[in-house]
Structure 1
């Protein structure tokens, strides 16, 4: 059964999450393949997990790696997308031949003021933008600004989802997976709640 909207799940690190999300027809599964991160999923674990799922795309997520590290990692992980959060790397990483997903943080008024400009810059360079925020006071204003966006980017809502269960003006959602308590034993928590909410009747 399909979902009503586009969904990306980040931080996949176990087969339980991957199989559940693929079964729910999530669009993209993201894996932390950043060699500078303590939570990096190894290339062997990535291969073992992804060979058991079908019908989804895979994103390689980077959180602090430089360009050379990203280049090397992408060689060892057959991902469909590269996800980064550094504006300075966008154009250079774009030359690696993979479509990009960008994480755009809006946690204060100055970042909010820069929002439209950042989207304008990213419009022709990336495929998707995940908008994230840890400042609840900004949620409504971010939603409002998204309503005026008419560019080419697919914008994914990565904040306030568990609180209001609303998409707002966004065409998609970005959720985050969690660690298994032990192999094969998993509480899907927010992911299950949201995916069941947006499941087609």
Structure 2
């Protein structure tokens, strides 16, 4: 088992899905936004889920209307959904009313934006189960945000349930979690090198650092 919650995002192939499920991640995320580069057709997602157990299946959306998201939840039997940072409050309220667990992604371009992001999270916190604070999409690494970790970032993680997404060195991931008190982390899937084969060396190091054993 793992020391913290882990969300695996943008899963597009069975190799990734089985790898993450073997590590007992909390959520296995599939991007169902047709405009996204890592979009996966629902039929492909359903085929993959047949081969994995013990994980929550999460549909990743962006700005789709709430009726479209709720339709996908019902048709695909999703356990949870992720929406983009600009999803409107009406959509969040509709999902909350339908008792669909929601994760909202907050993409950070610069650390100076954290105040504005905190305000947005405060407005949405009653409808959102977890927030993904995503530094990775703009190539912000742990070294870039480390000086902030014991200040504003720590305060945010103390106030909101946050999953951090950044390029964490495996040897520092425990420090990241201890310093920020984040609820967990988010990692991403990727392309196979060839069908059925992919190197997981970097992720292996990360998961091994998070691994714990029950007595």
Same-fold call, TM cutoff 0.5:
yes
- Kindly indicate whether the alpha-carbon contact (under 8 Å) linking 1:105 and 1:111 is maintained by their aligned counterparts in 2: no
The 1:142/1:99 distance shift into structure 2, 3 A limit, reads same
Alignment of structure 1 residues 46-65 onto 2, 5 Å:
46-65=45-64
Alignment TM-score, normalising by the size of structure 1: 0.86
Deviations 1:20-70 (A, max 9, x none): 111111111100111233532112211111111111101111135444543
- Kindly indicate whether the alpha-carbon contact (under 8 Å) linking 1:18 and 1:29 is maintained by their aligned counterparts in 2: yes
Find the counterpart in structure 1 of residue 85 from structure 2.
86
Shift of 1:71: 4.0
Task: Establish whether residue 178 from structure 1 lines up as the match of residue 177 from structure 2.
Answer: no
- Kindly indicate whether the alpha-carbon contact (under 8 Å) linking 1:107 and 1:138 is maintained by their aligned counterparts in 2: no
Q: How many angstroms apart in 2 are the aligned matches of 1:90 and 1:162?
A: 35
Q: Residue 190 of structure 1: which of 175, 187, 202 is its match?
A: 202
- Kindly indicate whether the alpha-carbon contact (under 8 Å) linking 1:30 and 1:60 is maintained by their aligned counterparts in 2: yes
The 1:188/1:5 distance shift into structure 2, 3 A limit, reads same
Find the counterpart in structure 2 of residue 35 from structure 1.
34
**Which one has the bigger helix percentage?**
2
More moved, 64-73 vs 106-115: 64-73
Alignment TM-score, normalising by the size of structure 2: 0.81
Alignment of structure 1 residues 65-84 onto 2, 5 Å:
65-84=64-83
Extract unaligned runs of 5+ from structure 2: none
Shift of 1:194: 1.0
Alignment of structure 1 residues 1-201 onto 2, 5 Å:
2-96=1-95, 97=98, 98-133=100-135, 134=138, 135-136=140-141, 137-141=144-148, 144-149=151-156, 150-151=158-159, 153-162=160-169, 164-165=172-173, 166-167=176-177, 168-169=179-180, 170-201=182-213
Shift of 1:172: 0.4
- Kindly indicate whether the alpha-carbon contact (under 8 Å) linking 1:36 and 1:65 is maintained by their aligned counterparts in 2: no
Extract unaligned runs of 5+ from structure 1: none
Q: How many angstroms apart in 1 are the aligned matches of 2:169 and 2:63?
A: 27
Q: For 1:147, what is the secondary structure of its paired residue?
A: helix
Q: How many angstroms apart in 2 are the aligned matches of 1:39 and 1:159?
A: 18
RMSD: 2.3
Q: How many angstroms apart in 1 are the aligned matches of 2:113 and 2:149?
A: 11
More moved, 65-74 vs 77-86: 65-74
Q: How many angstroms apart in 2 are the aligned matches of 1:62 and 1:126?
A: 14
Q: For 2:104, what is the secondary structure of its paired residue?
A: strand
